[in-house]
Amino acid sequence: MNSPSFIGADVAQRTLDIARSERGEVQRIGNTDAAIKHWLREVPPGSRIGVESTGCLHQRLVRAALAAGHTVYVLNARDLSHYARSLGRRAKTDRLDAQLIVRYLHHEHSQLHPYRLPTALQAQLDELIGRRHKVVRAQTALKQSFASWDSQPPVAKQALQTLQSLIKAIDQSMQQLIAQDASLAHAAEQLRTIVGFGPLLSASMAHALTRLPFRNADAFIAYIGYDPRVRDSGQWRGRRFLSKRGSAELRRQLFAAAMSACKTQLWRPLYLRYRTRGLSSTAALVVLARKLARIAFSMVRHDVSFQPDRVQSACARP
């Protein structure tokens, strides 16, 4: 039985540089539907294709390769940069990047997750969540800038109101999309019962939990980026940091939910317990956010509702 072919593709706006594990040369084709379709006819069946995540430029190749029955890996640009540095690479070109991708994929594919193409509804939700995040960031930046402006013109207030209206419109569009999928709507409704969760976080968490088949709660925590990054060597124990490898917007929403939850009668005893152990307020909120994420994962996985009495019993234990 022949081993699968490994292919690395460096994606640019107009071109694709493609390297294969069984060939030394790098092929360049156009980043168009016709060119990609023609190239895929020459690719061995069941090939493993790696591409670097480049916004939306790689989507044309990814969709075509998946439709042709190949396994596709969308790789993190930071990981590839560190990998190139570990190899002592001193130059960076499209041709070298393609060779780097195929080498990385050949050696590390067993540790990577194949890309799963989202449904049309999931793709729309991803797009709306991303756009909402950008609007919120712009609104926050304008508020901070205008706060120190004594003679603020009326148009500044109108601009902030317009951004707020845009956020509400995006939220309405998200809710309409969620209502079209029965399982997604059910999951969002369940998560809405968690003390500290609002409509936005319930929708975002339901989308994330139904988008990918997470093996366990730890995998979901790692997907969000709330998993601790350990740095130990011998007797030395380094400071722990969050990996922050997942969605920054989902982490922000969870942290905001933890800030809201720690003020409630249900969650405040648990938050204060973490504080009495010597954790800073930020660290305690991160632990609480992680616990909220684990509860959300368990609720969706086992199709159960939120049970406040279990939180109360946990808080009562010393």
Identify the pLDDT of residue 312: 73
* 54-95 residue pLDDT tens: 878 888 999 999 999 999 999 988 889 999 999 998 888 999
Whole-number Å distance between alpha carbons of 52 and 214: 22
Domain ranges of the chain: 6-111, 119-180, 182-318
Q: Which amino acid is at 252?
A: R
Identify the pLDDT of residue 19: 92
Identify the pLDDT of residue 317: 62
Identify the pLDDT of residue 247: 82
Parallel, antiparallel, or unpaired: how do β-strands 71-75 and 48-52 relate? parallel
Identify the pLDDT of residue 84: 92
Identify the pLDDT of residue 125: 92
| Torsion angle defined by CA atoms of residues 194, 199, 205 and 210, in that order, rounded to the nearest 10 degrees | 110
Which ranges of the chain have pLDDT less than 50?
1
**Domain 6-111 adopts which CATH fold?**
Nucleotidyltransferase; domain 5 (3.30.420)
The dihedrals phi and psi of 26, each to the nearest 5 degrees, come to -110, 130
Identify the pLDDT of residue 316: 59
Q: Are 199 and 175 in contact (CB under 8 A)?
A: yes
Q: Are 41 and 128 in contact (CB under 8 A)?
A: no
Q: What is the pTM of this model?
A: 0.81
289: Cβ–Cβ under 8 A, 6 or more apart, which residues? 226, 251, 254, 255, 257, 258
- Residue 36's H or E segment, with its range, is helix 33-40
Strand blocks (E) in 178-224: none
Identify the pLDDT of residue 285: 94
